[in-house]
Amino acid sequence: MNTWIMDRPDDPDVLVIGGGTGGYSTALRAAALGLRVVLAERDLVGGTCLHRGCIPSKAMLHAAELVDGIAEAGARWGVKATLDAVDWDALTATRDDIVARNHQGVGAHLARAGVRVVRGSARLTGPRGVVVDGPDGGAFTARRGIVLATGSRPRMLPGLTADGHRVVTSDDALFAPGLPASVLVLGGGAIGVEYASFHRSMGAEVTLVEAADRLLPLEDADVGRQLARGLKRRGITVRTGAVLTGAEVLPDGVRATVRTARGEEVVVSAERLLVAVGRAPVTDGLDLAAAGLAADARGFVAPADWSRLETAVPGIHVVGDLLPPPSLGLAHASFAEGLLVAETLAGVPSRPVDYAAVPRVTYSSPQTASVGLTEEAARALGPVKVNTMPLTATAKGMVHGQGGMVKVIAAADGAGGEATGRVLGVHLVGPHVSEMIAESQLIVAWDAEPADVAQHVHAHPTLSEAVGEAFLTLAGRGLHQH
Ligand SMILES: Cc1cc2nc3c(=O)[nH]c(=O)nc-3n(C[C@H](O)[C@H](O)[C@H](O)COP(=O)(O)OP(=O)(O)OC[C@H]3O[C@@H](n4cnc5c(N)ncnc54)[C@H](O)[C@@H]3O)c2cc1C
């Protein structure tokens, strides 16, 4: 194709559509590599993660931990403290201040890098053409490429409508006027589990309904089971293998019917029904067809070349939640994708994203953190060695007193099936495991074997010591685990 590109001063090398974590990371890296970048954003830079996702939810979960700490202080440690009340307005003010400061930070980074942020809704007009409809918009021709980073939005169940009041999405839950006394959470993925955990800490009666036979159905079966046990211990009613069969919105709440795993119909009444059944890619108004592209059956835009995240139209790349699996719908995956695409467009060597080594974390109480393959997926590849160790087998695990586990999976190579192969997966459940998984992601990414890990000494007493102990045992050098 012979495309004549008019050289206009406003035309960037790279035009990024969407200023979420995927889009802004692409823009920052591309600008750092000397490319001229325009970033079109129709709402706020920072996107879902900063304004409606990772950051506000983790801020709220931090407050939830403080509340849980007060209960634990009295129950276990004789530290007599009482919780007077949770001031929702104060809680959300602190949360929103953290979001606002981060938002300002992202804007400052982009400005310092020389990225031109154009406010408005962008649509494709051809393989290099973009029009941004907005106050400072216009028509642009991207000399090197276009990056689609339009992200995702909450998915709704057919037949249900979010009214932002009684039937809410994770977006609405942030901006609710107060805390409900009871919540029915639909969806046992990370978002549903985190919100169920948060509301329980805040004193609500919580029912969590998941259609699959376990929570976090994409994770190792033991993770889902341990998590369910931990949530039940905290008083959350967990119903797996259960489906919503009806929901009636009443003036003071929602009356839902749920078919349980045993086929019984139960009625769950709650002030709020929080629907967290997944996220749908956003391509509305983008006019993919104008560039010769189409979304797949599920609405994702799939790359033709995953090593460059480039679509079948040369020069059009995709990052973030718009990508289908094996991308993960996680902010940190989108950062890595942004780096890869920016470097690719700049002609700098860049390695493909190693999705198998991207950690997956749920910040509930208890937390879960995993990297690599589930036991089921690992066994499908060949013989494996598995070691599961309770966190409470360590002194620090006992101090925290929240249960939990470390599960490590390695390929069983060699005669007799001793675990001499590489580590395939690590799965953690318990307190602070979101901070403990970093070590395991290197173990998996660097193809380490249990004996390699066992060689390294972990600080005593720590929770991460349990990871070291689990690998010591797998390497045949068990110390406290037999
Ligand atoms: C409640 C919740 C908690 C989460 N917690 C975590 C977590 O703890 N850790 C984690 O890693 N991930 C978490 N996520 C997921 C994370 O938020 C997403 O993976 C991440 O935001 C995806 O980034 P993105 O850039 O692909 O899309 P988005 O962040 O959705 O950004 C897309 C941007 O594109 C803009 N846009 C769309 N169409 C156009 C257009 N035509 N023109 C101009 N602009 C457009 C939108 O306004 C938006 O700002 C969470 C998500 C939710 C909802």
Written as tens digits, the pLDDT of the chain (482 aa) is 334 445 566 789 999 999 999 999 999 999 999 999 999 999 999 999 999 999 999 999 999 999 999 999 999 999 999 999 999 999 999 999 999 999 999 999 999 999 999 999 999 999 999 999 998 889 999 999 999 999 999 999 988 999 999 999 999 999 999 999 999 999 999 999 999 999 999 999 999 999 999 999 999 999 999 999 999 999 999 999 999 999 999 999 999 999 999 999 999 999 999 999 999 999 999 999 999 999 999 999 999 999 999 999 999 999 999 999 999 999 999 999 999 999 999 999 999 999 999 999 999 999 999 999 999 999 999 999 999 999 999 999 999 999 999 999 999 976 555 557 999 999 999 999 999 999 999 999 999 999 999 999 999 999 999 999 999 999 999 888 87
pTM equals: 0.96
CA dihedral for 471, 477, 480, 482, sign (positive or negative): positive
The DSSP 8-state label assigned to residue 90 in this structure reads: H
Q: For residues 434 and 460, what is the distance between their CA atoms, to the nearest angstrom?
A: 19
Torsion of Cα atoms, 87 then 90 then 94 then 99, to 10°: 100
Q: For residues 219 and 333, what is the distance between their CA atoms, to the nearest angstrom?
A: 17
Cβ–Cβ < 8 Å for 383, 463: no
For the chain, how far is it from start to end, CA to CA, in angstroms?
67
Is any ligand 1 atom within 6 A of the Cβ of residue 26?
no
Whose Cα sits closest to atom 1 in ligand 1? 53
Is 458 among the residues known to form the active site? Answer: no
Q: In ligand 1, which atom is closest to the CA atom of 329?
A: 19
Report how many helices (DSSP H) and strands (DSSP E) the chain contains, helices first.
13, 23
DSSP state string for 422-462: -EEEEEEEETTHHHHHHHHHHHHHTT--HHHHHTSPPPSS-
Mutation choice for ligand 1 from 48, 102, 110, CB with most ligand atoms inside 8 A: 48
3-class DSSP string for 202-262: CCCEEEEEECCCCCCCCCCHHHHHHHHHHHHHCCCEEEECCEEEEEEEECCEEEEEEECCC
Q: In ligand 1, which atom is closest to the CA atom of 24?
A: 25
What is the per-residue burial (b if ≥16 Cβ within 10 Å, else e) of 126-157?
ebbbbbbeeeebeebbbbbbbbbbbbbbbeeb
CA of 35 to the centre of ligand 1 (A): 24
Q: Which of 109, 199, 427, 460 is catalytic?
A: 460
Q: HSE, CB side, 13 Å, CA atoms: give it for residue 478.
A: 11
Residue 2: its pLDDT value, please?
37
Identify the helix (H) or strand (E) that includes residue 304.
Answer: none
Is any ligand 1 atom within 6 A of the Cβ of residue 192?
no
Cross-strand pairs, 362: 368
Cβ–Cβ < 8 Å for 104, 24: no
Residue 235: its pLDDT value, please?
98
Cβ–Cβ < 8 Å for 173, 274: yes
Q: Are strands 116-119 and 279-281 parallel, antiparallel or unpaired?
A: unpaired
Is any ligand 1 atom within 6 A of the Cβ of residue 46?
no
What is the per-residue burial (b if ≥16 Cβ within 10 Å, else e) of 376-390?
eebeeeeebbbbbbb
- Distance of CA 398 to CAs 81, 187, 289, 458, Å? 22, 31, 58, 17
Residue given tokens 């390929």 in the structure block: 411
Looking at residue 44, its amino acid is L
Q: For residues 240 and 224, what is the distance between their CA atoms, to the nearest angstrom?
A: 10
3-state class of 329 per DSSP? coil
Q: Compute the C-alpha angle 377/378/379, nearest 5°.
A: 90
Q: For residues 338 and 342, what is the distance between their CA atoms, to the nearest angstrom?
A: 6
3-state class of 107 per DSSP? helix
Residue 75: its pLDDT value, please?
93
Residue 32: its pLDDT value, please?
98
Is any ligand 1 atom within 6 A of the Cβ of residue 275?
no
Residue 413: its pLDDT value, please?
75
Q: Are strands 265-270 and 138-141 parallel, antiparallel or unpaired?
A: unpaired
Cis upstream peptide for 314 (omega within 30°): no
Residue 60: its pLDDT value, please?
98
Cβ–Cβ < 8 Å for 363, 435: no
Burial of 3: CB neighbours in 10 Å, binned 0-12, 13-18, 19+: exposed
Is any ligand 1 atom within 6 A of the Cβ of residue 16?
no
Whose Cα sits closest to atom 2 in ligand 1? 53
CB-based contacts of 83, cutoff 8 Å, min separation 6: 67, 70, 71
Residue 481: its pLDDT value, please?
80
Torsion of Cα atoms, 352 then 356 then 357 then 359, to 10°: 120
Q: Compute the C-alpha angle 87/88/93, nearest 5°.
A: 105
Is any ligand 1 atom within 6 A of the Cβ of residue 150?
yes
Q: For residues 312 and 304, what is the distance between their CA atoms, to the nearest angstrom?
A: 5
Q: For residues 411 and 418, what is the distance between their CA atoms, to the nearest angstrom?
A: 9
Residue 3: its pLDDT value, please?
41
Stated length of the chain: 482
